[in-house]
Amino acid sequence: MLALLTALSAGCASQPPRQAGSTDAVSSEASGYAIREEANLDSRLQADFDRAVEHLRAGEHTQGIALLTAITAHPKGQHNTAPYINLAIAYQRIDQLEQAEKALQQALEINPDHPAANNEYGMVLRRSGRFDAARATYERVLDKYPDYLPARKNLGILCDLFLGDLDCALEHYRIYSEAVPEDAVVTLWIADLQNRRGMQ
pLDDT, tens digit (0-9, with 9 covering 90-100), for 65-87: 999 999 999 998 888 999 999 99
The pLDDT score that the predictor gives to residue 196 is: 87
H-type helices in the chain, by residue range?
43-57, 61-73, 81-93, 97-110, 115-127, 131-144, 149-157, 166-179, 184-199
User: What are the extents of the domains in the chain?
Assistant: 1-7+30-128, 148-200
Chain centroid to CA 5: 12
The pLDDT score that the predictor gives to residue 108 is: 97
The pLDDT score that the predictor gives to residue 31 is: 56
- Residues 81 and 157: their CA atoms lie apart, in Å, by 26
pLDDT digits (tens, 9 = 90+) for 11-57: 444 343 333 322 222 222 345 666 455 456 788 899 999 999 999 99
Residues 7 and 35 sit within 8 Å (Cβ to Cβ):
yes
pLDDT digits (tens, 9 = 90+) for 159-198: 999 999 999 999 999 999 999 999 999 999 999 999 988 7
The pLDDT score that the predictor gives to residue 5 is: 34
The pLDDT score that the predictor gives to residue 76 is: 86
Q: How many residues does the chain have?
A: 200
Greater model confidence, 144 or 36: 144
Report CA dihedral (62, 63, 65, 68) to the nearest 10 degrees. Answer: 170
Say which CATH class 1-7+30-128 falls into: mainly alpha
